[in-house]
Structure 1
Amino acid sequence: MKWFAIPLIFLAGPALADRGEYYGHMMDGYGVGMMFGPVLWLIVLGLVVAGVVWFIRQPGNSATPKSAGDAMAELDMRLARGDIDPEDYAARKKLLAE
């Protein structure tokens, strides 16, 4: 009997923790949370989707190849920095023009 009574004492805790002389009702402090809970999850889901879209659309994260204008600008910058010589510049510019 002792082994049966000890678990019952622990299981009775939530029932004894209720306020008042009765078990309580649905709107006894929790109803507002149940009413706005789905709205909160829709807001969280919208923020997650907006975050993913923002992360994908950041500059530098594009999956599209660069255009020839970008390649020409890069080639001009490499010549200006001295990374390539004028002959190599002319050969690469000819390839990009094709």
Structure 2
Amino acid sequence: MMGNGWGAGMGWMWVLWPLVIIATVAVVALLVRSGADRSRPPAPVDQPPAHEADEPTAAAGQPAARRILDERYARGEIDEEDYRARRRRLEEPDA
């Protein structure tokens, strides 16, 4: 008898246990990583970051509203007709 069957299966244990440990570490790392992403609130899509919203002009000298309008047009969120109408409205003097 060969040790009641223990000798044939021990070779696989040297392969199995490192795989179990690697898989456990990978799962823990993924859980920690996904938990860190959920702890931050999502940024609003249509609003600039808070530090830019407080400034009356953007870095290029354009009003913040005009810069946002230009970005939305560039991304294809609004068509040319809508862009031009909104741009005219922004350029009108306040009554």
Q: Same fold (TM over 0.5)?
A: no
Question: Considering only CA atoms, is the larger Rg found in Structure 1 or Structure 2?
Answer: 1
TM bin, normalised by shorter chain, reads 0.3 to 0.5
Taking CA–CA contacts closer than 8 Å with sequence separation of 6 or more, which of the two structures ends up with the larger relative contact order? 1
TM-score, normalised relative to structure 1: 0.35
